[in-house]
Amino acid sequence: MPRALVVDSYLIDDAESVIARVRAGDPAALEVLYRSFETPVYNVARRICRTVEDAEDVLQETFLEVYRSIGQYRGDGSLWGWVRQVAASKALMRLRRNKYRDTDELHDEVHAFRKEDTPLRMDLEAALERLPEVSRAVVWLHDVEGYTHEEIAAMMGKTPSFSKSQLARAHVKLRRWLGEEAVA
Amino acid sequence: MHLRMDQLLALRDAGSEPGSAEARQHVAQCDECAAELERLHQRVARMRALPALRPSRDRFAEVAERVRGERRQARLRRLGVGALALAASLVLFVIGRDVLTPGVARASDQLTATMAESAALEQALQALRPDQRVTDAYTARVAASLEDRIADLDRRLSAAQATATGATETELLSLWRERVGLMDALVDVHVTRAEQVGL
């Protein structure tokens, strides 16, 4: 599965040594990890969270968790994959905590009802931003980060069917908002 | 009858979903669905090509500070002085409550006075030059515990002052009073130690 952000431990000089030093509690090593993954972690967080503040909090919480849990990283997958998993989980946790989903879906349904026939054409960033949080999280994690529906379902505490349905709904909306609907 | 979005997605992702053979056959024969599938591919390609969003400010200092705090707490737990720290915090709470009576002054005046008191205690602490003194392990542990709590409080103060909505003066006053209580105790620890060794 192609990845949008190919960021891996090969970007860190002597990654194994850095990981060992983080495990030993060396703050300088943690900074090396932070500098290497700061942007991709923030990007994942920001694509999922509603606000910049939430995304920045997720960024901070992610590296704290990395520091606490680096012992659990066995080196059998990419380091970025592991860090990204932490970031995505933290961002989804933030989403659940803020209880945005229900209000968003309600807002979205009302909005859709009122504006169904209004032609819309917005850029992709704006259209993604307009999606309800959960739909946006699913579309980003699946289509951009390359997670499977099973993986997304596990992170969200939902079923794969839920993930698939959120993805389909997101694409229907994106297609409409981007003005990509076929002319009948 | 054209394919639904979920069918197009299933076709794109794995092609092994039930009914995908029929869907594939349909796309091969239907220009509209083929175009829709192509638009889906294009849309995803555009999403993947979006520039990465970057944080507006460097948060590593905060991460490092919290890591240091956690390590210090872990050290304290290992040393078995958690109970001591808890007792100290309870004493400080009582001291802070008694010493800092609210009075009838306006909250902003009280806030100014409390901040000045905190600054005075900072100066008193610097005058004692605790970093340059030989300190026994017990004093060092109590002082470290207080310093941790002050650092944590400073973070909360910083967040409260920086927040867009703005903390109320009463909330800020409460935090500053807590800081004065902790600073007072920290100065007391070092003064007592200095008196004991005749410095």
Last residue of a domain, one of B71, B86, B101: B101
CB-CB under 8 Å, A63 with B63:
yes
- Residues B183, B118, single domain; the answer is yes
Please tell me the predicted confidence (pLDDT) of residue B18: 59
- Cβ-Cβ contacts under 8 Å between A and B: the total is 93
CB-CB under 8 Å, A174 with B48:
no
- Residues B194, B153, single domain; the answer is yes
Question: CA of A87: how far to CAs of A179, B68, B182, B185, in Å?
Answer: 32, 21, 35, 39
The residue of chain A nearest to residue B71, with distances taken between CA atoms, is: A25
- Residues B66, B96, single domain; the answer is yes
Please tell me the predicted confidence (pLDDT) of residue B134: 62
Contacts of B120 (CB under 8 A, 6+ apart): none
B contact residues 100-159, partner A, Cβ 8 Å cutoff: none
pLDDT per position as a tens digit, A90-108: 999 999 887 654 445 545 5
Does the pLDDT value for residue B164 go beyond 70? Answer: no
CB-CB under 8 Å, B40 with A35:
no
Supply the range of the domain harboring residue B63.
56-101
- Is residue B169 a contact partner of residue B137, using CB atoms and an 8 Å limit? no
Q: Quick count: other Cβ atoms within 10 Å of Cβ A129?
A: 12
- Residues B69, B39, single domain; the answer is no
Please give the structure tokens belonging to residue B46: 């555009």
Residue B77 — pLDDT band, cuts 50, 70, 90? low
pLDDT per position as a tens digit, A98-149: 765 444 554 554 444 444 444 456 799 999 999 999 999 999 999 999 999 9
- Residues B191, B113, single domain; the answer is yes
Radius of gyration of the CA atoms of chain B, in A: 31
Integer Cα distance of B157 and B163 in angstroms? 10
- Average pLDDT of chain B? 76
- Is residue A98 a contact partner of residue A137, using CB atoms and an 8 Å limit? no
B contact residues 40-59, partner A, Cβ 8 Å cutoff: 40, 43-44, 46-50, 52-57, 59
- Residues B81, B14, single domain; the answer is no
- Residues B78, B97, single domain; the answer is yes
- Residues B118, B91, single domain; the answer is no
Please tell me the predicted confidence (pLDDT) of residue B125: 78
Please state the pTM of the whole predicted model.
Answer: 0.63
- Residues B30, B67, single domain; the answer is no
pLDDT per position as a tens digit, B105-136: 567 778 888 888 888 888 777 777 776 666 66
- Residues B194, B159, single domain; the answer is yes
Contacts of A86 (CB under 8 A, 6+ apart): A62, A65, A66, A69
- Residues B22, B107, single domain; the answer is no
| Chain B residues with beta carbon closer than 8 angstroms to that of A169 | 5
* Exposed / middle / buried, residue A32 (Cβ in 10 Å: 0-12, 13-18, 19+): buried
Number of domains in chain B: 3
- Residues B71, B126, single domain; the answer is no
Instruction: Give me the amino acid identity at A115.
Output: K
